[in-house]
Amino acid sequence: MYDVDKVRADFPILARKVNGKPLVYLDNGASAQKPQVVIDTITRAYAEEYANVHRGLHFLSNLATDNYEAVRGKIAKFMNAASEDEIVFNSGTTEGINMVAYGWAMPNLKAGDEIILSVMEHHANIVPWHFLRERQGVVIKWVDVDAAGALDPQEVLDAITPKTKLIAITHMSNVLGTKVDVKTICSGARAKGVRVLVDGSQAAVHMPVDVQDIDADFYAVTGHKLYGPSGSGAIHIKPERMAEMQPFIGGGDMIREVSKSGVIYNDAPMKFEAGTPGIVQMIGLGTAVDYMMDTGMDAIAAHENSLRDYAVAKLAGLNWIQVQGTTADKGAIFSFTMDGAAHAHDISTILDKKGVAVRAGQHCTGPLMEHFGLTATCRASFAMYNTTDEVDVWIDALELAHDLFA
């Protein structure tokens, strides 16, 4: 039995008040709060166990290295990777996607080659491909979602031509909550020799992810959404894709030897991890994924799905709220606008006065906003620690906002 009260007790920030009201944190799509075990791990790592990692011969360096490298196995387990050597550490999904753009796509794609994106991609999965368009003449092809926000995987596959080299696709929309059938896309693309990058930044926190089952060439996740520290993240890369990649950033750790005449690179995954890493951030992420696995990803998903269904039923009674993204199996993410004069920023400000934290704006999805003819929306995004009582507080705050602008 999922005990949400027990889960909530693990997150100290949830006990605080905002504007004199109990905090109702519904901005998890932007960044999740941290459990005490992660905070304790970070504190201990800095207070008792800190040193630079790799190549140190002293006790603290060996301890920090062991703690840091242990995270690779934890993330591999979390994503069900075949080997921890397929996990590359980074600062988050944005860096992971850029690493693929610079390290794999730029050396392997030429003018006229095509990359397929969906219209609901986050800017982090758009801008790096525009770099290739601007610098190398690569063509970006777009696939739209339907009125409900659903993405037909067959439409993605139908967009493939002999010039298509990559599909870069989200696993779950950070605005619509739409879940994408990335396994079907990966299977169809593989049959045509097309590589697939999956942006798992939003999906990995809401449901179990099995990279062997999905079989994408690249699958990126970000730590701060996984109840871990900001500045932490990882990307799973198939070994055969790693073999085709050039290093993205040069510096320490990613080399074996450096001389005046040349460089011998380290083996993957170290080949793609230059410089002093976010040591404590990654150790904290290891604790965060342990926490999620101990709670159970299936249990977390079931809890959030029940919150989604409860919120959908409540929103149905507000005929002046328009929700963007209405697929039945969506994640517990609600982008919405209010009929009348209220701008998303106005709504967010009023909700904040009631202690309800939501996001307002374009949510780093300019093409999606253009597709729906919107300039901005509010977004309430739920997490493992949210409750139906908090849904009620949110709905009451929306009714207040509506009354103020009526």
Active centre residues (catalytic): 364
CB 173 within 8 Å of CB 202? yes
CB 386 within 8 Å of CB 310? no
**DSSP states along 186-249:** HHHHHHTT-EEEEE-TTTTTTS---HHHH--SEEEEEGGGTTS-TT-EEEEE-HHHHTTPPPSS
CA distances from residue 305 to 211, 266, 328, 395 in whole angstroms, order as listed: 22, 44, 10, 18
Q: How far apart are CA 93 and CA 108, in angstroms?
A: 21
For 267, which DSSP code? P
Instruction: Give me the numbers of helices (H) and strands (E) for the chain, helices first please.
Output: 15, 17
CB 166 within 8 Å of CB 194? yes
Tell me, rounded to whole angstroms, the distance of Cα 169 from its chain centroid: 12
CB 313 within 8 Å of CB 326? no
CA distances from residue 365 to 202, 222, 377 in whole angstroms, order as listed: 13, 17, 11
75 φ/ψ angles, rounded to the nearest 5 degrees: -70, -40
Q: How far apart are CA 285 and CA 301, in angstroms?
A: 20
The label of the residue with tokens 């739409």 reads: 178
Please report how many Cα atoms fall inside a 13 Å half-sphere around the Cα of residue 134, on the Cβ side: 7
The label of the residue with tokens 């693990």 reads: 10
